[in-house]
Amino acid sequence: MENKKSKPSFAAVLMYVIIGICLCAAAVFLGLYYTKVLYSTVILWLGIVSFTIMYHLWMRIIMGNATKLFRINYQNFWFREKKFEKKMYKFLRVKRWKNKTLTYNPELYDINTRTPEEIAFTTAKSELDHIINVLIAFSTVLFGLLWGMTWIFALTAFFAAIFDSQFIIIQRYNRPRLVKLIEREKRKQVSKI
């Protein structure tokens, strides 16, 4: 497969724009607060909220790149479909909303340019990315030790974990279908011999 540079998706551009805005806002608000130019609780919390949003998004990008170094196999036990999952997907109506979420690199899931096996590996990597993101989300609770009001950091961590969980569910929903497609293609190749 040709390794050409593709243009960033809307989701990727949006993440970088939000990170940039939040970085600037956090620097301004925290700078104003800590230099005592505007020593107000509102200014402090605007800085903290901006910093926390930036942190959540930035960590997702960093971990997405870091997991490229891991050897991930979609056939590993962890990535196989569990017995309860089909019922859960039906209950959550995953089929109705899975295509409406933003994708950071949609070309990695394009069945026209990638093999089902490549996409299956991508789903496993993406699932791992989002599992790590859920764990990292709860690290923001440690900011409560610095700024107090730990409950607000726990709340943002909870919502960040819910946000990442949707992507874990989508990857786990799609992978068994890809595995069936891979197995079907392998059977066709064996029957040709």
pLDDT recorded at residue 148: 86
By C-alpha distance, which of 110, 127, 124 is closest to 164? 127
Contacts of residue 33, Cβ cutoff 8 Å, sequence gap at least 6: 39, 40, 43, 44, 47
Q: Are 60 and 54 in contact (CB under 8 A)?
A: no
Contacts of residue 185, Cβ cutoff 8 Å, sequence gap at least 6: 116
Residue 10 C-alpha from the chain's centroid? 15
pLDDT recorded at residue 5: 67
Question: Burial, 18: exposed, middle or buried (Cβ in 10 Å; 0-12, 13-18, 19+)?
Answer: middle
Residue 45 C-alpha from the chain's centroid? 26
pLDDT recorded at residue 4: 60
Question: 10-residue block means of pLDDT along the chain (193 residues)?
Answer: 69 94 98 95 94 92 89 91 94 94 89 93 94 93 88 90 95 95 89 74
Integer Cα distance of 53 and 34 in angstroms: 20
Give domain limits for the chain: 10-192
